[in-house]
Amino acid sequence: MTTTIKMEDILARSERNTVLYIGYDNEAFMNTGIQESGTTPYGASTTTGPGGELIKGKIGIKEDYLPGFSLLGHKSAYFATANVAYPMDFIGKVMDAMKTPGGGFIQIYAPCPRGWRHDGGDTNRIAKIATESGYWPLITIKVKNGEPTYYYNTVPGMAKPENENDYIGTNDEKLIELLKSQGKFRHLFKPEFLETNIDELFGQVKARNANLNKLLGQFGVDDRKLRYSVKHSKVPPQKHLNPGHGLCGGCGAGFMLNQLASAAQLVAKENIIYVNNTCCVEVSTSKDDVSSWNVSWMHQLFESGATVADAISTAYRIMYNKGIKKEVPYVIHIGGDGSTVNIGFQFLKSAIVRSSSFQIMNKDLKI
């Protein structure tokens, strides 16, 4: 059974959110030179953990931090994973988050041709294999009064689960294809096939999916397969961001920005403030004193971006409740995996808690 959410129904909702936090995952600190981050997968080569003779890339895990956010007891919150290769799913998720009271956080898979060492023209193909293989499953978690409800989103060609009671599966052949599509895993195949290392990586992917299957079973509803019905013809070209930017050709973060702004424009029109911590998106859309943004946009240092986004929304709501401002802008925070998950994790977690609970409970901060 599938729950279908239509974009017209989302847009017709009178309720709205406070801050949407976006974490685009390109699996390393990219703009500063491809350093390993908490979301770099096991075995991947980075400049701080290169795949060489002695060290075979990252020694450690790719952190899976989204489910943890769903069990913090929020009053109302929206969480999801997304992938730049499935724009209508991501656009539906952004709109749903912006029309859900409280805060939201979406972690989106965004290939990096430069850091992952693949052709810029292969971004979409690689991103698709990531979800089809079970490496990057698509899930949605809606939290209400402290209780999370887990959903999963399917895509064509997705791996079938081995156990009929499961929801998310893995496909070994596609996982190998995913690894082979990126130069950062080349040392696992040449000069020799490192079976033990590849098995470790597969084991980590399967363990993560086993956890998600348990959470989907425990915190699901009957119709836990979720589909966003978004018609391409009803999503006009976005005007928040000018054409042209300094990102590399085929950069997944560029796909993400275009899709994000298309969804945000439908909900917020121009009543929006983007906050961006230091990352590829920030440096590439704010060269010198020239900004690519047509709407309000603010850079905030690295780990503190989420805090500042929350503070901006709070300030506007106080002014609104005192009669100083007539409307409250939508706020979207954009951060990378290094700044958001590694160094800014505590800032992000607390900002989400405030957006998703404290501000709902405080009458002076209501919208």
Ligand X SMILES: Cc1ncc(C[n+]2csc(CCOP(=O)(O)OP(=O)(O)O)c2C)c(N)n1
Contact between residue 113 and residue 248 where contact means Cβ atoms under 8 Å apart:
yes
Q: Characterize 116-125 residue by residue with b for buried, 16 or more Cβ atoms within 10 angstroms of its Cβ, and e for exposed.
A: bebeeebbbe
- For Mg ion, which stretch binds (CB under 5 A), given 230-238, 270-278, 304-312, 331-339? 331-339
Least Å from the CB of residue 25 to ligand X: 8
Residue 182 interaction partner, one of ligand X, Mg ion, none, beta carbon < 5-8 Å per kind = none
Paired strand residues for 157? none
Question: Closest residue to ligand X, Cβ-based?
Answer: 336
CA distance 275 to 307: 10
Least Å from the CB of residue 115 to ligand X: 7
Q: Is 337 in the site for Mg ion (CB under 5 A)?
A: yes
Least Å from the CB of residue 169 to Mg ion: 27
How far apart, in Å, are the Cα atoms of 328 and each of 102, 141, 314, 315, 365? 14, 26, 9, 9, 11
Closer residue to ligand X (CB): 41 or 102: 41
DSSP state of 241: B
CA distance 27 to 297: 25
Least Å from the CB of residue 94 to ligand X: 19
How far apart, in Å, are the Cα atoms of 352 and each of 225, 304, 322, 355? 25, 13, 24, 5
Least Å from the CB of residue 66 to Mg ion: 16
Q: Which residues of this protein are in contact with ligand X, per CB under 6 A? A: 26, 29-32, 37, 278-280, 302-303, 335-339, 343
Two structure tokens written together for 244: 């042209």
Q: Is 26 in the site for Mg ion (CB under 5 A)?
A: yes
What is the x/- site pattern for Mg ion, positions 28-57, by CB under 5 A?
A: --x---------------------------
CA distance 93 to 97: 6
Q: Is 336 in the site for Mg ion (CB under 5 A)?
A: yes
Residue 131 interaction partner, one of Mg ion, ligand X, none, beta carbon < 5-8 Å per kind = none
Q: Which residues bind Mg ion (CB under 5 A)?
A: 26, 30, 336-338
